[in-house]
Chains A and B, each alone.
Chain A
Amino acid sequence: MDIQVQKVGIVSCSGEEIPEGTLCRLACRKVLDERPGETVTICLPLFIAGGEEERTFATNYPTITVDGCDKRCAAKATEMLSGKPAKSLSIPEILKKHGLKAPTKLRHFGPEEEAAVKAVADEISQAVDEVLEGD
């Protein structure tokens, strides 16, 4: 019997040190706001700082990780501390695919960064669809 997935967990790189981290947070937040019934999130450091409930996040939800750089903290931490992600996305790869430049500032994103936020959010949303459909 197939069990239908109801919600998808999104784990965002928080990347406080790099502009791609801010891009990642904004894009993930956009998807969470646009698809509240289908997505949930967790603050990545809670895999260490939280309790059992936080550490079982990736076993409770199929998880999409979104990383801002090639250190891939979100994917690595989720797999190490919670469970293997269903999908792992990379901001540099998404920007390259869409022919977009990486943002250059850490805060106060505006119209210049809008296309990048939308492109990343669209890719996350597509990944949510694929996970919900069981791909």
Chain B
Amino acid sequence: MGKKQKKVVVLPCSGIGKVYGALARETTYELMERVRPDEVVTTCLPLLVIKDPEAVALVLENPVITIDGCPKDCAKKSVQALGKEPDKTYEAIKFYTSHKDLKPEGVAEVNDTGRKLAAVAAAEVAQEVDKLAAGEEQ
């Protein structure tokens, strides 16, 4: 009998003012496109702000990981505003403080070093994705 896994929703920071927002997005895209393409999906954070029914349902019905780019924690708080605690939260700056040889630069998009750091970060986040996906087996 086959088991159906739920998707894991990864929500990055929306910011265009700081490098760690861009790093959060790059990490999310790395997960979606290369590391866990069958498990990870995202949605636009502003859709949660306007309470778009499809986006809200996606977040409420699946495990959620947030990756924030600054201490204002918009991604985490946007999920909490829906009455749900994210299953796992990350601060993108900690990816850098754990890998100081990979200093990201850029604001709207990260540079090559930032892309390398995002690949490392995505591999770390993927371990959590796997746990959440397995825990949500039906």
Contacts and interface: CB of A to CB of B under 8 A. Distances in A.
Contacts of B29: 106-107
A12 B16 contact: yes
Contacts of A22: 109
A16 B28 contact: yes
B11 to A, nearest CB: 8
Contacts of B44: 13-18, 21, 73
Interface string A1-29: 00000000000111111100110011011
Nearest to B77: A49
A16 B45 contact: yes
Interface stretch (A40-48, A56-64, A89-97, A122-130): A40-48
Interface string B85-116: 00000000000000000000001110000000
B96 to A, nearest CB: 19
Interface residues of A, number: 34
Interface string A94-109: 0000000000001111
Contact of A49 (B11, B21, B42, B72): B72
A128 to B, nearest CB: 16
- Sort chain B's interface into a size bin: 20 to 34
A16 B25 contact: yes
Interface in B1-43: 11-17, 21, 25-26, 28-29, 32-33, 42-43
A107 B26 contact: yes
Contact of A77 (B16, B28, B46): B46
Given A46-B74, A47-B49, A49-B78, 14 more contacts: A14-B14, A15-B46, A16-B12, A16-B14, A16-B25, A26-B109, A43-B17, A44-B14, A45-B45, A49-B72, A49-B74, A73-B50, A81-B49, A106-B29
Interface of B: 11-17, 21, 25-26, 28-29, 32-33, 42-50, 52, 72-75, 77-78, 81, 107-109
